[in-house]
A and B are shown apart, each in its own frame.
Chain A
Amino acid sequence: MIKVNELYIRVYTATDILEFRNKFSSNLNIITSYANTKGKSTIGESILFCLGLEEILGNKDEKSVKPVLRSRIEKDGVEYDVVQSDVFLEIENTNAEIVTILRSPKHNERESRLISVYKNGIDEVLKNSCKYEDYYVHDPGATKNIRGFHNFLEKFINFNLPDVATYDGKLVKLYIQTLASCFYIEQKKGWMNVLATLPTYYKIKDVKKRVLESIMGLSVLEIEKEYNMRKAKLKTTENKWEIVINSIILRVKKMPGVRIEGIRKKPYIISENDGITLSIIDDNDKEVKLSEYIQDLNSQIEELNNKKEPTIENKSKALNRELNELSELHDKFSVQVIDTRQFYLMEKEQLDSIQDRISNISKDLIENKDLRKLINLGSLEDVYMTKSQCPTCRQAIDDTLFEQNENLKIMTIEESIVYLENEKQMLEFSREAQQLIVNSKREFLNKLEDRVAEIASRIRVVKSDLISNNKAISQSHIQKIIELEMKKNNFSNLISDVSDMWKDLVEVGREWGKDKAALSELPSDFITSKDRAILNSLKFEFTRLLEIFNFESTGIENIRIDDYTYLPSVEGFDLHSDSSASDTIRIIWAYIIAIQKVARKSGNSFGFLVLDEPAQQNADLSSTKKMLRELVLLSKEQQVFVFYKLESDELFDDIKENEYYRIHTNDYLVE
């Protein structure tokens, strides 16, 4: 927070120096005149100009100040050219640090963007040559750069301004200029609506909302950022889950015949009882668990290893028996392969035919759209056939080259386009479903073909054994052991890999649970209980003041502070839009005073309030007096400036002389 101690304006003409110098009260300052344009506004504008906040007046740099400071000045009825002008402003922050700011609206050697800051009061600055530092305003980076004046001002006031998003997708610091419209109500546009002078050209998204959040110290923006971060984290974990699941499925698919159960595509917290099952169809066409199958392979290997002298002679009977069994199996699977292939080809053909139909419909659709374009061409404007009329007899006809038949209705081109689009969409769904069927048939066929190839290879080995020397070691015996060993190893590796990945999945599930819980901890409307208390106090203060100011447009009990905009509303509508002109002024008085109180308590407050001509729209004297009384109360906690053009001093009847400091300008301000 800051307060304005003193203002000194110095204007040089070719022959003279004209001045205005005034110290201000830390409480209520009332600047009055009995006639218009006696330079009251120059005080307010000069304060804004020195603080680099003049943009809320609608202009930048020297253009924002009155001509008296930049072009022509009048003295004793004679006009003089302004040669040079300087404005000195002494401000003080809550740590009792005093600085004087010098900015020159017109100066040969000083650009109007240049601001010099002295670490002394005005008295010392004018008497001695004090040290100063130069800063600049309205240049890119002025909010963050070390030489940016607003960067200095932000620290001096002890503001903590957030980074906010712009419509260009960038993050920028919330400009201090945007906050100024809550502390300086300009005499024309400022009384049209709440925060009417807030600059919107910085392209900041929801700028009014962000300004109010910052001023009241609401944590909505942080909560929103936190929410987005946590949501992104949850999304990342969900993606991780998907990756692990896909890796498991891919790994299992590499082993033909193995099926997996217990996999869920959506993340969840995996308990100890959850698990996945790997199974396989054994030689007896029975589905068994993979672990049991491996055990079975183990016992087969053991049995084969235990057999003595596995010569062909010893094994000939067994080999014959095996050959018969294998031949039977081969025949059985071969028949299955033929049947399955037939089904696969049928389904494939159906898929191709759907695809053909989609291609035809797409072509038809393009051509129909072309026809629609053709009909709308300028050269066909007076052509009868495009209006479905016979060019000879002008009777209504269908848009077709077939013989006209009144019993046969033909769709118009528009209807045909809609029809074709629907048809295409339906066929695309159907293609997706058919593709799944074809894929599953192909997969099954592959497995069967693999199995047949495996049996055929075994048959070859057994047959070769049977025609070999009787004393030779059975090749089939050895190969069978090798095959079984390989099978066992492959399946064991699969189980080991899958169980490793399952462990990863358990971890991801746990992480997902934490992320989900973290996300649900945040309030869905981003308003925490602390923020709710702030908004309630704003509402309380606002409605209390409205009642005091005799607000009449609607029942005060129906007024709410909108959770999104933080502006007053009635049944979802902006309160301002439903109110009379004088009540709009009351709304602005009440809202601005209420905001000052909330800002000082919990948020970012400039520490002073400027109201330029608040008795607008002939707000009645009684409520203006009540407003002044409220300003007296407010000024006990912060500095207030009010500018009035008066008819009489009746306005001050209800406040004591020691409750305010009055500056009355009878003639020109700078003289």
Chain B
Amino acid sequence: MKDAIDEIKGFINEINFKNRPIHISYKFRTVYQVSRLVLIIGITSTVKGCSILKAQILSSALDDERLFDQIVWLVNNNSVGFIKAWKYNQLVSTAINYSNADQITSYSNTGKIILTEKGKNFFSEIMSDEALLSYEKSQLGKIKKRLSDTRLLSILEKGRKND
């Protein structure tokens, strides 16, 4: 390989690269993660807000259908059981920071994430267009407000004991 490079070195004076923009998946877009966060808070949480843990787990579940099905099963059957491993996602935390900075969400006194007035308007605008983020809305609609933070903690506790 080194010989080959040495051989062509004599013919080439310089190599130019153009820094072209690259495509990234929608999942890495700020607007997507923030919108998803707003939906999680708006659909599955009460006025008291949503814990960071719940935002992380439901975000993870929206990327993993099996995990979501397990959570739905536990919620539907009012049961506490083992759920599949989930991954902490740095992107969700960054999205929370962005939405706080842009005053779409804020932290409540109890440290939970709540929607600001702007966030509430944004939430109702997303909900009024049926086609917009339809997968996310239909999935979260299966849970509604039945997964409280206490309930989520007891599920995770059970999972930890089983480990």
Contact = CB atoms under 8 A, between A and B. Distances in A.
B48 interface: no
Contacts of B161: none
A375 to B, nearest CB: 6
A402 to B, nearest CB: 6
Contact of B132 (A374, A390, A402): A374
B4 interface: no
Contact of B122 (A377, A407, A416): A377
Contact of B125 (A371, A379, A390, A411): A379
Given A385-B31, A391-B101, A370 B133 contact: yes
Contact of B29 (A377, A390, A399, A420): A399
Contacts of B20: 409
B141 to A, nearest CB: 17
Contact of A400 (B30, B103, B104): B30
B104 A383 contact: yes
Given A391-B98, A391-B102, A401 B28 contact: yes
Nearest to B94: A401
Interface string A379-390: 110011110001
B29 to A, nearest CB: 6
A367 B19 contact: no
B122 to A, nearest CB: 4
B75 interface: no
B32 A379 contact: no
Contacts of A399: 29-31
A415 interface: yes
B21 A409 contact: yes
A413 interface: yes
A371 to B, nearest CB: 5
Interface in B22-46: 22-26, 28-35
A371 B24 contact: no
A385 B21 contact: no
Pick the most buried of A368, A373, A383, A408: most chain B CB atoms within 10 A of its CB: A383
Interface residues of B, number: 33
B95 interface: yes
Contact of A371 (B31, B91, B98, B104): B31
A364 B26 contact: yes
- With a 10 A CB-CB cut-off, give which of A373, A374, A378, A415 has the most chain B CB atoms: A374
B122 A402 contact: no
Given A401-B91, A409-B21, A411-B22, A375 B101 contact: no
Nearest to B117: A379
The 3 closest A-B pairs by CB, nearest first: A391-B101, A379-B121, A409-B21
Interface of A: 364, 367-368, 370-371, 373-375, 377-380, 383-386, 390-392, 399-402, 407-413, 415-416, 419-420
27 contacts: A364-B26, A367-B26, A368-B26, A370-B132, A370-B133, A371-B35, A373-B132, A374-B31, A374-B132, A375-B31, A378-B125, A380-B122, A385-B30, A385-B31, A390-B101, A391-B98, A391-B102, A400-B24, A401-B30, A408-B22, A409-B22, A411-B22, A411-B24, A413-B29, A415-B23, A416-B24, A420-B23
